[in-house]
Amino acid sequence: MENRYMIVLIVRHAICNWYEKWSGMLLSSRNIDRLPMISAYQSALSGLQAFSTKVTANGNNIANISTEGFKGSRVLLEQAVSGSVSTNVEQLATPPHSVYETTTNGYELVELSNVDLAEEIPDMTLNEIYYKANLRTIQATNEMFGSLLSLKA
């Protein structure tokens, strides 16, 4: 997690330096986010982090599907003020299935997990596609930034 933030800071610093040399204007930290490439990076990086959180929740739900009494979690995405994506993790509210099992005390009602594999697998597949789309955005922004630097040079 810290590595991603370091990369963002390094990219922001490099773009500030490049812009100041290219335009001859000083770029303050307040208006750097108005540059299209910076906002594209920030949006894509926040998307990567959000969909990474969603895939982690899917994996945790699937891994614990056979755990008695496990309550699954769901990740909701929200748009932040800066145009980035924030996540909100909440427990699934669906009631778990219960079954009678034979124990040393006779038959007992055992609460199973409330995770539905038929929902988790497609959700995980979609999250993978969205994650790749954010990676592609970063790649396209890198290509545009490289082309812009080549034009100036």
pLDDT score recorded for residue 96 = 80
Q: Reply yes or no on whether the pLDDT at 20 is more than 80.
A: no
Phi, psi of 54 (to 5 degrees): -65, -45
pLDDT band for 1, please (50, 70, 90 cuts).
very low
More confident residue, 86 or 32: 86
Instruction: Give the separation between CA 126 and CA 124, rounded to whole angstroms.
Output: 5
Over residues 100-151, the pLDDT tens digits come to 888 888 888 888 889 999 999 999 999 999 989 888 888 887 787 676 556 6
**What does R_g of the chain's alpha carbons equal in angstroms?**
23
pTM of the model: 0.67
pLDDT of residue 29: 47
pLDDT, tens digit, for every residue of 21-74? Answer: 555 555 444 454 555 556 777 788 888 889 999 999 999 999 999 888 899 999
What is the DSSP annotation of 20-70?
HHHHS----TTTGGGSHHHHHHHHHHHHHHHHHHHHHHHHHHHHTTTSTT-
Residue 37 has what pLDDT?
56
For the chain, how far is it from start to end, CA to CA, in angstroms?
Answer: 34
Give the H/E segment covering residue 115: none
Angle between helices 2-23 and 117-152 (to 10 degrees): 30
Cα 33 from chain centre: 20
Tokens 């773009």 correspond to: 15
